[in-house]
Every structure is written in C-alpha cells, then in structure tokens.
Structure 1
C-alpha cells in the first residue's frame, strides 16, 4: 500500500513551510497572471515583460523537475495521455518565424493555456497542503492587492478579480476553518460578490452563488450525500453544460425574461460568437483544430467599434469548450472532457463529504458548467487551480483525503 499523508489544517497556517518546488511550480503562473492582467489594463510594456518572465520560469521549472518521480512517475494514465496530445499539438502549431514562435510559447492564451495542465502531474504527498499554503497566503494579502490594483488601474480593480479564485478555493473548506478564519473568509467572500456586481463580472457572481449554494446544501442536508443523488447531480451538470452550449440563445432569453431586473446586465454577448465560429469552422478543423495559434473570423468585430473594438481575426472564442475545439479539435476536447468527468466521478460521486476530493469536486462542478459560457483556457490562476484539483483527485491513492477539523 502506498504511503499516505494525513491532511492537518494546522500545517497550512505557516507560509514559511512553502517548498521551493511549489514556489517554482505555482509562482510563475501567478506572476504571469498578475503582470498580464495589468498589461491588459494599462498597456505598459514592463508588465508584459514580467508576464514573459513568468512563462519562462514555468518552462525552466518543468524541464528541471519533469523526470523526477513526484512530477510524473505515477500520474494518472489519462493525464499522461493528455499531456502527450498537448505536446503533439505544439509540434503541429509551429510556424518558423520569430513572431509566431514567441506567440506560441509565451502568449498566455496559446500553448501555455493548455500545457498548464502539467501541474496536475504533481505526485508529491504534500501537494494539497502546499497548494493550500499558497491559497491562504494570497488570501491574507488580498486586500493589499486590491488597494494596489485600485490605485494603479484608476479605480477598476480587474486584476484583483483574477486572483479571487483563491477565495472561492478556500471557501469550499469553510467547515474546517477556525472561527477567526471563517470570519475573514466570509468577509472576503461578501467583498468579492459586491465587487463582482459593481464591475459587472457576471460569471464571478455565478461562481460565488453556485459554490456557496452547493457547499450549504451538502453540509446541511446529508440526504443529498447519497451516491445516487450525487450521480444525478453530475448528470444534471452535464445536461446544463450541453444545454447552455448549444441552446444558449433560448436559455438566455428565458433567464433574462425571468429576472427582468434593471440592476442586472442582460446583454447577450455569446450567441453571435457561436454562430460566427461554426460558420468559419471547416470540416477538417474538427479533427485537430487549428493549432495553438489558430484563429477564426468574426464579422461582428469587423464592424463593431465600441470600447476600442476588437480584431475581426479572433484568437479566442471566449467560451471554454469551443476554444478547446478551436485550438485542438476533438483530439483535445474529448480527452479533456473524459478527464474532467473522471475527476468528478472520483471526487464527487465516489468520495464522502469530509474528504478533500469531494470539496475540490465542488469547485470543478461549477467551473465545468461555466465552460459552456466562458472559462476559456489560459495561463491563469483559475486554470492552475482547476488542474491542481483534477490532479489531486485523480492521484488520490497517494494522499489521505480525510479532513481534520482543527483550530487553524
């Protein structure tokens, strides 16, 4: 039997215990997310350069540690297969000119958006503990980050919102937190919802309500912890995801008519994307997509000039499932969905409430639904947390997932 390590929450209260391996694995992603978000807001080249440094550090760390047993040796076979597909698509995406080569390996929404899945190969027994150390450290500094963001971006803290996923991630372990920590995370959670509403981050509002709702339901009503009902919940999530993806216009119209609120932005910003995407997507593209540098044509953005406009040749479709299809076709999409559903099955259906696997699956459940309307791949904090959760669940035999409620 494999050696296991019990998860004790007293161990994740001291940031000094963060290992150099974890810093090398996660810090480059966080640095790139931070810098590129600032670059998008103010177009300062210095921030773009910092994001490039983050990407380079990520590659260096992966190359230095890839052959070590705790990064690859006993990883789930599907994860290994998926990484091989990603490597193959890099080869097919290469264009031998400097501009495209730089974009292919450095741009956060090109190959990096998918090779970030490598974090799921982490085989260290303290993978969860180390991740939570980083999550809590960022949350401790969150209000400082917000203040810096607010001042630098002149009152529009969109950079802070990119780090708000850490709040959601810690919140799913709310029952295990100490009383003081519960108060602090509750404050951050409410602060996040208000900020998301004020700055019209609709999907972040959805995340807050969905994750909070799922945790409340399964914490208070043990009846829903029965395996049969958890199975039905996964089927429902899949149905919702498919329904939103292919019948978005009808569902969106129904929901907005039902809400009929002047305080909610009911603008449909998705239906036309799907229409234009499938008009431009050719038969051969379904197999392996158009590569990591693949684009599609948008007549809407050819004509639209508001808010600075956008290029008619679009690099992303802004909808997770279809962006994966654009870059890698069914060759990438099918394994991705299978891996995701396997993680939900192991973590949500086959694990009890008081395990890290079940809680991580709550995070994955919500993010899976949002793949149908947003949540497109990127070298970002959100996808880092998603792949970390998938990796911990699929490698569950290496970790004792029982949660110990301690005064952390």
Structure 2
C-alpha cells in the first residue's frame, strides 16, 4: 500500500523541489523528506524503477538549484564532500548492510528479458501497428503474478511495450510527437523556472517509461500532461520569474 501511494501521490513532491523558488522553506523540506523516504523504501524493497525515478528527480532538482539558487558555493562543496564520503565508505557499508540486502540481490538481476521475449514472439504484424486494445493480452507462461502463475498477461513492466500492447506503434508515436517537442520547448525555450520544471518533469517521465510504469492514472502522470499544455503556450514560456512571483503573491493575498 505504501508503494502504491508513493507512486500515485508521493512522487509529485519532487515537482515542488524543481520549482523551489515559488515555495516556502518549510514546504521544500517536507518535499525533500518525502522523496528521500520514498527512495529509502524503494531501495529496501528493491524497486529499481521507483528508486531511479526518485534519484532523477533529486539530481535535476540539485542541478536547477546549483544554476539558479542562492548559496550555490556552499551547496556545491557540501555535495562534493557527501559524494566523496559515499565513494570512500559506501562500498563497505553496502556489503555489510542488511537494509540494502534486497537491492544487492536484485540490483543486477535480469527480470525483464524472458517477459519481453515472450512479448516479441506473441505480437504479430498488425498488433505492432495498432495494438490489441484496452483488454489486450499476450502469451507469457510461467510468470508468477499476484501469487499465481499466469499464461496470458495484460501488463508488461516496460511501459513503452505496454503502450504498444494496448495501442500499437501508432499510440506510442503520437505520445512522442506530443511530449518530446513539449519537453524541448519547456526546457530550452522558456524564460521562467515553472515552465522549465514542467519540461524537465516530462523528460523524466519519458526516461522512466522503460524501467517502470509511468503511463497510468497517477498524479505525476497528470502533471506531465498539464506540463504539455503549459510548455506549448508561448505566452507562459515568455513570462519571467519575477512576474510569476508577483502573480503567486497576489493570489496568496487574495
């Protein structure tokens, strides 16, 4: 249950970190703790996709802060010291830690190849083009799912293949045609942090569609689609951070 709520409601706390300048210090701390707790839980349960999602959010949030935040020199030195400490003592702690035993066992384990090979063998030419519909299944014997061995599955953990299963390359191509330009416009052709954060959030989501399921009804996926609309708006991209700050402060007063 904790993992489900983390994926559906917890990850969007990272968007607060990406848009740090519009939020109070208290809210930033709460968001940072939330993402850190989710990361710790993902490592303990060996959920590699979820852990990667959290790490990418923290990495991009750190890069944004180093580029635009205050006390950047202090933060950079602190990060370098922290990274050096991890390199020096991290391997020994990793070997002896019971907390990280699951991720040590599954860290390099290949749990996808057999499922993906079954998917490739079962899909036919027309299936690749238009998919098998919302209730589409593929032949995948011997995989234990929810405690039972399955023969046909309607889910594949590689999200790009999941989109192809349901809607084919047509569906995946349309998704790329909408989201990739939106991400590029948001990151490289905007004058404010808010739109850039939306572009980065779309980019993170697209990258994580390989190791985890992103294309689901979750708050972080809804933020991606909200970001698409924001990034395509030229008027929003041309706003300055100062004007957005002024707007938010006006809304708070009202």
* TM-align CA RMSD: 2.7
The 2-side partners of 1:165 and 1:402 are apart by: 27
Determine the structure 2 residue equivalent to 1:188: 34
Determine the structure 2 residue equivalent to 1:57: none
The 2-side partners of 1:297 and 1:395 are apart by: 43
Matched, 1:199 2:45: yes
Calculate the TM-score normalised by the size of structure 1: 0.47
Gaps of 5+ in 1: 1-155, 223-258
Determine the structure 2 residue equivalent to 1:377: 215
Q: Secondary structure at the match of 1:312?
A: strand
Matched, 1:168 2:6: no
The 1-side partners of 2:221 and 2:59 are apart by: 22
The 2-side partners of 1:385 and 1:360 are apart by: 8
Change (3 A) 1:307 1:296: closer
Offset of residue 384 of structure 1:
1.6
Determine the structure 1 residue equivalent to 2:79: none
Gaps of 5+ in 2: 69-90
Contact 2:208 2:214 in 1 (8 A): no
Offset of residue 320 of structure 1:
1.4
Matched, 1:319 2:161: no
| Deviates further, 287-296 or 168-177 | 168-177
The 2-side partners of 1:273 and 1:371 are apart by: 16
Determine the structure 2 residue equivalent to 1:150: none
Calculate the TM-score normalised by the size of structure 2: 0.73
Q: Relative contact order (C-alpha < 8 Å, sep 6+): which is higher?
A: 1
The 1-side partners of 2:112 and 2:185 are apart by: 32
1:362 to 200, 216, 225: 200
Determine the structure 1 residue equivalent to 2:136: 294
Q: 1:339-396 CA distances to partner (integer Å, 9 max, x unpaired)?
A: 11111111112224x3321111111111111112222522232322221222221234
* Equivalent residue pairs, number: 213
Offset of residue 402 of structure 1:
3.4
